Structure 1
Amino acid sequence: MTTLLGLALDGYGWHPSQDKHANGPLTGKYWTEQVQLAERGLLDFVTFEDSFARTPGGRLDAVLTAARVAPATTHIGLIPTAPATHNEPFHISKAIATLDIVSGGRAGWQVTIADTEEEADAFGRTKVLPLQDLLDEAADVVEVTRRLWDSWEDDAEIRDLDTGRFIDRERLHYVDFEGRFFSVKGPSITPRSPQGQSVVAALARSRPGQVFAAKNADIVFVTPHDGASAAEIPARLHNTSSHRIIKVLADLVVAFGRDDEFHSDAAIFTGSAAELADLIGQWHEWGIDGLRLRPAVNALDIPVIVDELVPLLQTHHGFRTQYEAGASETLRARFGLPTATNRYARKSA
């Protein structure tokens, strides 16, 4: 069995009484150390959670935090959250392409929507749209972002000092998108990144969210609460994906050996690392491609994942014992996604 394993990192997982970092999630050092620990455990990826909602202690920007972490890591995938609502696809495409370049092909983007009045009031430009409108807008943002990633062909940069030509203009493309919510001409100002198309992820809690994710994302995070839903959800998503290759990962809150009292949209696991290893194996047999673990307390639960869970998965479930060497191991390759083909290159060819 080869299963995908990642972490959802959020400032809520930090507790001042249980962590040595005085300012915790408001420092670059804190995030770097969490991701370096996850990389020591050979995990596939981390996601950096974010939203436009206010939090008691404040929060850092997820994309900028991932960019801070990128030079301090080597293999692990970096997937920051950037809401599609109240955001410009031009800005998202440029930020994620930049992250992909500085990380050497390890970038992803977790797309979310902002569906509260509080988030809308923070911008003051619009009121909250109905759920389906928010999802339709997010679909357009994903489409335009993908087009902008393709707007530079792989060999668009000439860099010919003798002729003074930096770009082959024939290999730079306008995206010319006209939609219900916005229009974008393009092209991007950022060259095509190592992956071409960074991995797009989405958390799908509701049925409408699952339809959106299956049609627009490469990675779909789901929240099964029992064996029946763990077996049923992946089949439904693959049927909805219109033959697109997607990977389905289950979210699971982990509080090893503790009965922490809190509510979550995902299932909460309080057993041992050995019990979790068995659960991962069972869910994999039911069609779940991997798990994204949400530590209840980063300082308590991430070390158990790295030092206890991963060795059990290596011994009994075929989890990797080292990362692949070389620059070819992009995040797309890690997830088993096909190489991204540039839509505009096909036309020019």
Structure 2
Amino acid sequence: MTEQLHVGVALDGYGWHPQAWRTTLAANPGTESVLSGRYWASLATTAERGLLDFLTIDDTLMAQPGRREEISPRRLAGRADAVLVAARIAPVTRHIGLVPVATVTHTEPFHVSTQIATLDWVTSGRAGQRVKVSSDPAEYALFGRRDPNGEDRGSLFDEAADHIEVQRRLWDSWEDDAEIRDVATGRFVDREKLHYIDFVGSHFAVRGPSITPRPPQGQPPVTVLAHVDTAYRLAARAADVVFTTPDGAGRDGPTGDAARTLADARAAETAVGRRGDPLLVVGDLLVLLDDDTASARAQLSRLDSIAPLRSDAAVLAGTVAEVADTLESWAAAGLAGARLRPAVAASDLPRITRELAPAPPRRGLTRSAWGEPASLRDLLGLAKPADRYAHA
């Protein structure tokens, strides 16, 4: 068992079920739009009250999630940029880590690195990033710069690894004390502590340095979602945290084989020759909560009858006690944490933070109160990395 289970929540629109928007607006027609800053601020403050280590903000390059170019009139359409949403909710939170999705396939590492570094500054060290790879031809067509048939999936993950490496080097391109700001001498910056990264790889050639000084965390934590071997290897090569669904998890057995999943992650680390700290392996679980299991399952059946969830999702439709049991079993199997996906944010997120939050501390799994504000690395037990370019 880990010393402390790292529990977070994944946010996307009105919730992770495709029909969450109908349930939400039927119950409260005045609910704010998912484009509203007030809506996201409310979710973030609710999550922080639950003593969660982090929240992730999902994103996609399509108007609707999934792999359909045609927009369905029956599903939520339209979204705000995840990084900008994180910047909006930063001032209303003090403790919780903010981890937006950044798709790296069609974006430049220089731009993404400055976005995440800026977010780390405005949150006083609470920023992270969830790297996402795009292989969807419809997303390629939005940019028109690449041939979707000219690249195999493995090359996309190789590019993502290079993207992360460039970001990390750019974050290190300013030493921590490069800013002098000395009025008496007239020197604002020590030029000897700014570095050209001179990265040349198969996908990028980046000179540097960054336009944004080194983030407070040095390098904000990088996370990857992995369900297949190529994604596990990307996480092992380049990430700090991997989100994954335990093997065999599903509607009939939501806890899955957490020990096997942990073994898969460690095998990927061995395969790529990872050095340094091992990955934090965090299990994903979609939750739909009610006072009793029968009511939760009936509610899920009603939603699924309109538009079902993906069959490979790990879903727990039940009570907060059952979720607490799952968290405890995952901790016993060696997972570092859990990321809970509320099926309907308006109802499931308050239950997570109001009813579930007290249970893990009673079982010795998580904190019972916030201490002084800390960085996301501190919350996750990750040391601040040394600057590779710093002079001895």
Calculate the TM-score normalised by the size of structure 2.
Answer: 0.85
Change (3 A) 1:31 1:187: same
Q: Which residue identity lines up with residue 232 of structure 1 in the other structure? A: R
User: 1:238 corresponds to which residue?
Assistant: 266
Between the aligned partners of 1:120 and 1:113, the Cα distance in structure 2 is 12
Contact 1:235–1:287 (8 Å) recurs in 2: no
User: 1:303 corresponds to which residue?
Assistant: 350
Q: Which residue identity lines up with residue 312 of structure 1 in the other structure? A: A
User: 1:125 corresponds to which residue?
Assistant: 145
Q: Where do 1:216-231 residues align within 5 Å? A: 216-224=238-246, 225=249, 229-231=257-259
Q: CA deviation at 1:202?
A: 0.6
Between the aligned partners of 2:388 and 2:158, the Cα distance in structure 1 is 22
Between the aligned partners of 1:182 and 1:67, the Cα distance in structure 2 is 27
Change (3 A) 1:299 1:287: same
Task: Report the secondary structure of 2:4's partner residue.
Answer: coil
Contact 1:18–1:299 (8 Å) recurs in 2: no
Q: Which residue identity lines up with residue 377 of structure 2 in the other structure? A: R
Q: CA deviation at 1:12?
A: 4.7
User: 1:37 corresponds to which residue?
Assistant: 46
Which residue, 309, 314, 322 being the options, matches 1:263? 309
Calculate the TM-score normalised by the size of structure 1.
Answer: 0.95
Contact 1:149–1:197 (8 Å) recurs in 2: yes
Structure 2 stretches of 5 or more lacking a match? 65-75, 291-295
Contact 2:14–2:346 (8 Å) recurs in 1: no
Task: Report the secondary structure of 1:25's partner residue.
Answer: coil
**Residue 283 of structure 2 is aligned to residue 250 of structure 1:** yes
Q: 1:208-256: CA deviations, max 9, x gaps?
A: 1111112211010001115663111212313433243221101100011
Contact 2:13–2:79 (8 Å) recurs in 1: yes
Q: Which residue identity lines up with residue 169 of structure 2 in the other structure? A: R
Q: 1:36-91: CA deviations, max 9, x gaps?
A: 00001111100000011122521000000000000111000000000111001000
Q: Where do 1:1-349 residues align within 5 Å? A: 2-13=4-15, 14-15=20-21, 16-19=25-28, 21-55=30-64, 56-128=76-148, 129-224=151-246, 225=249, 229-241=257-269, 242-245=274-277, 246-257=279-290, 258-259=296-297, 260=300, 261=304, 262-264=308-310, 265-326=312-373, 329-345=374-390, 348-349=391-392
Contact 1:44–1:334 (8 Å) recurs in 2: yes
Contact 1:256–1:272 (8 Å) recurs in 2: yes
Between the aligned partners of 1:22 and 1:310, the Cα distance in structure 2 is 25
Change (3 A) 1:21 1:184: farther
Between the aligned partners of 2:38 and 2:256, the Cα distance in structure 1 is 41
Contact 1:253–1:268 (8 Å) recurs in 2: yes
More displaced 10-residue stretch of structure 1: 10-19 or 71-80: 10-19
Q: CA deviation at 1:316?
A: 2.1
Q: 1:91-111: CA deviations, max 9, x gaps?
A: 011000000000000000000
Between the aligned partners of 1:36 and 1:68, the Cα distance in structure 2 is 12
- RMSD of aligned residue pairs (Cα, Å): 1.5
Q: Which residue identity lines up with residue 3 of structure 1 in the other structure? A: L
